[in-house]
Structure 1
Amino acid sequence: MDWTEGYNNSVAYTMGYHHEQSPTYLNACLAMQRVSPPSIEKFNYCELGFGQSLTSLILAATHPQGDFYACDFNPLHVLAAASVRDEAKLPNLTLLENSFGELAQGAVELPIFDYITMHGIISWISDETRAQIVQFLKRYLKPGGVVQVSYNAMPGLAQVLPLQRLLMRGAAKGGDAWSGALELATKLADLDALHFKRNPDSLARVQGFPGLDPSYLVHEYLHEKWTPFFFADIARELADAKLSFAGSARFPHMAPVGWLTNAQRQLLDAVTDPIEAEELRDYFSNRAFRSDIFVRGKAALSDIRLREQAEHIHLWRNPSVSFKPVAELEHATVTRGGPYHQPLFDRLHRSEMTLAELFDAPEVAGVDMDGVLKLVRLSIAVGETSFRYGAVQTRASADRLNAVLLSRAEQGAKWNALASPRPGGGAGVGTLDLLMMASLHEKADRKKALSKDMDELTARVTRSLAAVGMQLRVGDVEVAPGDITRRMGHIFEDSGKTLIAHATELGFWAAQKAATR
């Protein structure tokens, strides 16, 4: 049998961080959906199918109290991840090069896990391999343990199934796989194939492909097995490992949701089976991707236990997002009426506080705990509020990892996040910001370097842009190669101090003491 088992490994997977796999993030999600989470004082964690392992690297760096295991059957992925791990000195991360079948059969000595996570992988593997994952969960997840699984979903991808088949047909014609796939799909769309006229989602994807990373597109579409699942089918499979659905890992979809119409809500309220109700919600939102949390032994939180858990959930306002009375979600628009949304936003703007403190805050007086949870979940969903479960961990390992990630970014690696101790995971960062931060990282006084070392900073970023193959653009205009250094000087002058403050706020590097005269 081909060792890839139908999975396309012709190019390395993209270097993405997925916050929904963070154990502290999952604990907060569970508590805010009234499900008891595991302890994070000391825990074991496993990621199945880690790709470039940025997620497990960041999580190991920001959770030094956890023992992390990450498995991928692609030896290139394991080699690349091990190189970063070793340079960053992360002793709590074990990398495994094994198939899911080998793991399910006990070929590797492993502990019993508190958390097992999978991003996207089940959509691209065979039924047999998926069954091996269920066997692995049976064998290695402890009672009370948490499984996070994300996957392509129905009914949102109903239009895309025939497009994926078309892309595979184009890729099979030889040469560069993605070029062939895109050429065939574009040709049919340009020739007014009725499929694209009657399926606008499919057409929009084809039109958007040229602006996306080909490596991502290969891993998203060019697999022999490409299956979007209905939620109930996944829930039924995981029930074989004694797993119960505990809720969504995505705040816009946590139940009860606030975006349904009154008629839609009445229909769902009459559905007694929670699995059926969850799948029906997918029809109302036309969901194309799900990120779900399952637990082995679902223990509901009473009001008393919820208050205990709320002591561990810290909330603060995202300073870069302003309050909007009309909240735009990925699938719905929510008008925030009533007297509580704006006061909640203003209260979190003043200082960080725990969810338990918020329950008793005068701004939400008269609102029961479930009502406060609903307010907070919506505020998080629209990006106004950040959160963390548990205390901030020591930052030494996060600082070491970030130093390695910044250095490698200058050599051409395209990370999309850095380790951020305050939320206990990673935070997104753009490529240009990453390169500017790399040039400033080792400066004893970063603000002073913006004037004292400007020539060095701009020259360094100019070299890095060439290394990553990035064309600098200002607005919609590409900057001529000979003008990049000068324009980078303007960018540093205009936004350098803001970038330093933003990176310090997110904990990408330690705050520097003000220089003394």
Structure 2
Amino acid sequence: MNWTAGYNTSVAYTNSYHHEQSPTFLNACLVMQRVSPPSIDKFTYCELGFGQGLTALILAATHPNGDFYACDFNPLHVLAAVSVRDEARLPNLTLLENDFGELAQGKVELPQFDYITMHGILSWISDETRAQIVQFLRRYLKPGGVVQAGYNAMTGCAQVMPLQRLLTLGAKREGGTWTKASALARTLAGIDALHFQRNPDSLLRIHDFDAMDPRYLVHEYLQEAWTPFYFADIAREMSEAKLTFAGSASFSHMLPVEWLTDEQREMVNTIADPIDAEEVHDYCSNRLFRRDIFVRGNMPLNDARLREQAEHIHVWGNASVAYERVVASEHATVTRGPEFHHTLYALLRRSEMTLAQIFDSPEFTGLMLDDILKILRLSIATGETSIRYGAEQPCETADRLNAVLLSRAERGEVWNALASPRMGGGAAVGTLDQLLLASLHEKTDRTKALSKDTDELIARIKRSLVATGLRLRIAGAEVSPEDIEMRLGHILADSGKKLIAHSEHLGFWRAQKPAR
């Protein structure tokens, strides 16, 4: 076997941030599922298979109290991440170019870790390499440590496996770009091959190809060892490293699952084995991707210890999401009772609160703690509410990283998030918004600059649009070159102040005192 171990290294991975890998978010998920989390006063963290490194970079910048390690065996990925790390001066991030076998065998000097995370990598590597990861976890995870693993789920991906096989066949026949590699699948779908008629998910994926980043598609589909897994099989492998399932890093899938119908919930409750019951949940939701949390030593939180941990859980309302009584997920809808759900919504729009304050709020007198957790989990799942474990950390390192990311965005590098100390990780930001932020970043009075320096800001954003190749679109229509200046002026006038306020709210940059 060569050094790639079945992983496609022909192109670099996308610059994507995954919040479920944040240690503060993982701690919040554990507490919300009544599991004791590690301390984040001082901790060690490792990401396996970091891609372009955006997640590791943002987490190191927003957790200066953590000692971060991240490993990837693709030298292109390591070079890209090292360049950003060094420019942003992140002293607490060590980037390694090693394969998992070298790590598992102790050939690299490493500490014991409180957190080890991996996004997608389990589904893209060989059985041998996956066994090396389990060996690494057994060797380097501390007692009480946390593992977060994201991977393709068999129940939702079963009918996609023939499509993946067809795409790899197309790559073998055609080679070259993703467009050529996917030509065979597109052709068969276009001539009504019966597989696509009877497997609408596969056909829908083909229709979505043109709207997706080809780099992501190469890494998602053109892997030699592309494997979706049943949950029970991954849980069994993790048990070999003394790990037990602690819950989900997705609030939509936390138990008790709100999205199940009464009949589904009643049936699942008859299954005694919790691992089997968790796997049956995937059939109810046809889940495509799992975000699982495993721990080495599962210590449940009783009511007294839950109240202690609740002092560290911070929640606040998302002003951009309106309250809806009927809410939808990827696979179901839920109709909420009006009384306590809307009460929580209104409370969290007034100010940030701790979970302990919510427990003691007179509005929820008479409710059991688990009833309050259930209401809050659903609110977080809908996007109405944000959550963080622990105090907001100092912003100096996050400021440095964001300055680097915004500067590079102007030169054509694409990111999907910036560092947010308030979130304890990253927050999504579109490319155009990043270019707007970059133009305002160094202004001593950004609000005044919206009107005072409009021509300068527009000229800078236009140069960035050329560098990124981004096409300005409004209401679904592409803006013509002669109208771009006018449209950018309208965007700055209509949305500039809101964007500045939103950025200060999330901590993308520090709030400025109004000039006198």
TM tier, shorter chain?
A: over 0.9
Provide runs of 4+ in structure 1 moved above 3 Å.
none
Deviation digits for residues 283-303 of structure 1 (CA, Å, limit 9, x no counterpart): 000001000000000000010
Superposition pairs for residues 287-326 of structure 1, below 5 Å? 287-326=287-326
The answer to whether the 8 Å contact 1:115/1:147 transfers is yes
- Pair 1:412-2:412 in alignment: yes
- Partner SS, residue 158 of structure 1: helix
- What are the equivalent positions in structure 2 for 1:52-67 lying under 5 Å apart? 52-67=52-67
Please give the alpha-carbon distance, in whole angstroms, between the structure 2 residues aligned to 1:422 and 1:15: 21
Structure 1 residue identity aligned to 2:345:
F
Aligned to 1:44: 44
Task: Give 2:368's aligned residue.
Answer: 368
1:295-352 CA deviation, whole Å, 9 max, x = no partner?
0000000100000000000111111111100011121100001521011111111111
Alignment-derived partner of residue 161 in structure 1: 161
Deviation, structure 1 residue 181: 2.5
Q: CA deviation at 1:110?
A: 0.1
The farther-off stretch of 486-495 and 370-379 is: 486-495
Relative to the length of structure 2, the TM-score reads: 0.99
Q: Number of paired residues?
A: 516
Aligned pairs for 1:75-474 within 5 A: 75-474=75-474
| Residues 28 and 388 in structure 2, CA contact (< 8 A), matched pair in contact too | yes
**Mean Cα displacement is larger for which, 126-135 or 268-277?**
268-277
- In 1, the alpha carbon distance for the partners of 2:34 and 2:291 equals 18
Q: CA deviation at 1:177?
A: 3.6
Distance 1:31 1:172 in 2: 47
Q: State whether residues 170 and 177 of structure 1, in contact with CA within 8 Å, keep that contact through their aligned partners in structure 2.
A: no
Give the partner amino acid of 1:454: T
Q: Distance in 2 between matches of 1:60 and 1:476?
A: 37
Question: 8 Å contact 1:112–1:142 — kept in the other structure?
Answer: yes
Kept after mapping to 2: 8 A contact 1:120/1:149: yes
* Superposed CA offset, 1:473-495 (max 9, x none): 11122112233223211211121
CA contact (8 A) 2:175 2:181 kept: no
The letter for the 1-side match of 2:446 is: R
Deviations 1:138-162 (A, max 9, x none): 0000000000000000210111000
2:63 is matched by which residue type in structure 1?
H
Distance 2:404 2:207 in 1: 37
Cα distance in 2, alignment partners of residues 24 and 389 from structure 1: 5
Q: How does 1:6-45 map to 2 (within 5 A)?
A: 6-45=6-45
Identical amino acids, percent of aligned pairs: 70
2:512 corresponds in structure 1 to 512
Deviation at 1:377, TM superposition (A): 0.3
**Counterpart AA for 2:90:** L
Decide whether aligned partners of structure 1 residues 31 and 400 sit closer, same or farther in structure 2, where only a CA change above 3 A counts: same
Q: Which runs of 5+ in 1 are unaligned?
A: none
3-state SS in 1 of match to 2:287 = coil
Bigger drift between 79-88 and 258-267 goes to 258-267
Q: Mean Cα displacement is larger for which, 357-366 or 408-417?
A: 357-366
State the secondary structure of the residue aligned to 1:316. strand
Matched, 1:70 2:70: yes
Question: In 2, distance between residues paired with 1:402 and 1:482?
Answer: 31
| TM-score, normalised by the number of residues in structure 1 | 0.99
Could you tell me how far 1:506 is from its partner in structure 2? 1.1
